[in-house]
Each structure stands twice: as structure tokens, then as C-alpha cells.
Amino acid sequence: MLLFKKLTFALPWLVFFTIACSYLPSLYQDPYFIISTDFNFYLQLLTLVGLILLSSFFFVIFVTLASILKIILPACLLASLIPLLFLNPPSSFLLTGGAFLSFTAISLLLQKELDQYLTFKATSLLSPSIKQLATILLLVISVIFYLVAEKEVSQNGFKIPSSLIEMSLSLTQTSQSLEVSPTTAVNQPQIPPELLKQYGVDPAVLEELDKPQNKPQNTMATLVESQINNLIKPYQQFIPLVLALLLFVTLKWLASILSILLTPLLWFIFWILEKTGFTKYEKEMREVKKLII
């Protein structure tokens, strides 16, 4: 029964970490998604950060309750093998090593904290470890992303996402149409349709002629893309680093927002554990040695 209690929170930790790893192949598939305008990619990042935080959350609780390295370290080794199921080498090996070192380091540091505390308060004692573990895992993910982006840029060169160019051109054309259309409407004389019909002219034809002709969107987008790529080409060796930094900053920012929920969630979990009799608190009387003159 005691062993079951110590291993209870290992299961949700492994489940959430497995789901988080399943999101990584699509993350590494396109290194340019971080500068794209696709909302689905940013929703995917938010989901990934949430899964990493939940995985870190349950891992820290697992370490707190297990409190024995003979149980914790094998579980860390098992969890670190999960990336091998979803990623190809060398990314899978890097994430496996990074995850094992991260879980092991945080468990050792947390064990030291648990051996020294005087009054157990989950929110203040465990929250820093959860945030540290999540940050380290996100950093490992960003480092692997840098290696993937570097390989992509070195093989195929840097190509700015076409969706970003198309959005910029559409915004420019929209602003221009808003500026031009009022003037056109004021200056253009209105001819009664009855008068046009008397001379055998279809009013619908004139309406089509009055409409502004669409610019060759594809040609314009291709030209702008070519110019931007030529400007960036001398500095393309720095592009992977910029993309990786942008990814890490975005992930860390999302994590800082979601971390607001850690304090109430920790309090609620340990309140439930206490009320259900899963855990209990005991007070100790310790001798104190003071210096007096």
C-alpha cells in the first residue's frame, strides 16, 4: 500500500510527458512556423507548454511523495526513453539525454529542499521546482529546434513564409483601397441607367469597368519574397539562432502565464490528499542550540 502511494503520481507524470512528446514531431517539421501567421501553430505551442507544465507538476509531487531515489531514478530513466517513440535520431537521443538529466537534477535538488524544510507548505516549497523543470525542458526543446533549423537552412537556404508576405500585401492593398475608394466615389459622375439603356449600353458592363483591377497577387508576392530573401541571405547563418531564441521566448512567456495556476492547483491537490487521508502531517519537537553570553 505504501509503495502504491509513492507511485500514484508517477502515472499522470508519464502520461502528460508522453502526450507532450507526441506534439514535437509537428513542431520540428517546419522550422519557420514560429514566424508564420497560422493561429493553429500558436495554439499548438500553448498546448505543448500546458502539457510540459502538467508533466513537471506531477513529477514534483511524485518526487515529494516517493522521497526515495531507488524509486525516483528508475522512473526518470523510463520517462527519458519516451522521446524515442516519437522522434528520429539525433533529436530523440538529445531529448532523451536532456530529459533524464533534467528529471534527475530537479529530483536531487528537491530532495535536498525536502530534507531541510521546517514547515511543509506545498505552494512555496514545490512551485520553484516545477517552474525550473518546465524551463529546462523548454530549453532542451528549443536547442533541438535550433539544430533542426540549422540543418534546414544549410540544406535549402532560408525562405520567409509565403503566408506572412501574403498577409502584408493584403493589409497594404486594403489600406490603399480605403484611401482611394472615397475619392473615386466622389469624383465619378453618376449616369442614369435609363439614359444608358436608350443608347443600348448595359449598366452592368460599366459597373464592371469601373471596378479597380486586381493586381497580380502571385507575381507581387513572389517579387517581394525574392527581395527579402536576397537581403537576408548574407545573414542566414544567424537565422536558426534567431528562430530558436524566438521559440524559447514564446514558450517561456506562455509558461509564465500558465504558471499562475500552479499555486491554487498545488494547494487544492494537497488539501484533497490530506482530507482523504492519503497524507497526514505530524509535528516534531527539536532541540535548538543557541549562543548566549
The single residue listed with the C-alpha cell 533524464 is 100
Phi-psi region of 89 (alpha: psi -120 to 50; beta: other; left: phi over 0): beta
- Which of 185-199, 220-234, 246-260 reaches the highest mean pLDDT? 246-260
Are residues 225 and 160 in contact, defined by beta-carbon separation less than 8 angstroms? yes
Residues 142 and 180 in one domain: no
Q: Tell me how far the alpha carbon of residue 108 is from its chain's centroid.
A: 27
What is the band of 180 on the pLDDT scale with cuts at 50, 70, 90?
Answer: very low
As a 3-state breakdown, the chain gives helix, strand, coil percent values, each rounded to 5, of 80, 0, 20
Residue 4 reports pLDDT greater than 60: yes
Residues 13 and 141 in one domain: yes
Residue 283 belongs to a domain: no
Output the pLDDT for position 291: 75
Of 132, 141, 117, the closest CA to residue 60 belongs to: 132
Of 293, 273, 277, 275, the closest CA to residue 62 belongs to: 273
Residue 89 belongs to a domain: yes
Are residues 110 and 130 in contact, defined by beta-carbon separation less than 8 angstroms? no
Residue 179 reports pLDDT greater than 70: no
Q: C-alpha angle with apex 253: 249 to 255, nearest 5 degrees?
A: 115
Residue 169 reports pLDDT greater than 70: no
Are residues 61 and 99 in contact, defined by beta-carbon separation less than 8 angstroms? no
The single residue listed with the C-alpha cell 511523495 is 65
- Higher pLDDT: 130 or 178? It is 130
Are residues 246 and 35 in contact, defined by beta-carbon separation less than 8 angstroms? yes
Q: Is the pTM of the predicted complex or chain greater than 0.85?
A: no
Are residues 103 and 133 in contact, defined by beta-carbon separation less than 8 angstroms? yes
Residues 87 and 44 in one domain: yes
User: Can you tell me the distance from the alpha carbon of 95 to that of 30, in angstroms, rounded to the nearest whole number?
Assistant: 18
One-letter amino acid for residue 58 of the chain: F
Residue 286 belongs to a domain: no
- The residue segments making up the domain with residue 187 are 163-233
Average pLDDT over residues 102-127: 90
- Which of 3-7, 57-61, 66-70, 242-246 reaches the highest mean pLDDT? 57-61
Average pLDDT over residues 214-225: 55
Residue 288 belongs to a domain: no
What is the band of 283 on the pLDDT scale with cuts at 50, 70, 90?
Answer: confident
- Higher pLDDT: 42 or 93? It is 93
Output the pLDDT for position 185: 44
- Higher pLDDT: 96 or 34? It is 96
Total domain count, the chain: 2
- Higher pLDDT: 276 or 225? It is 276
Q: Which domain-ending residue is among 233, 264, 286?
A: 233
Residue 170 belongs to a domain: yes
Residues 137 and 243 in one domain: yes
Residue 183 reports pLDDT greater than 90: no
Residues 62 and 139 in one domain: yes
Residue 194 belongs to a domain: yes
Question: Who's near 40: CB < 8 A, 6+ residues apart?
Answer: none
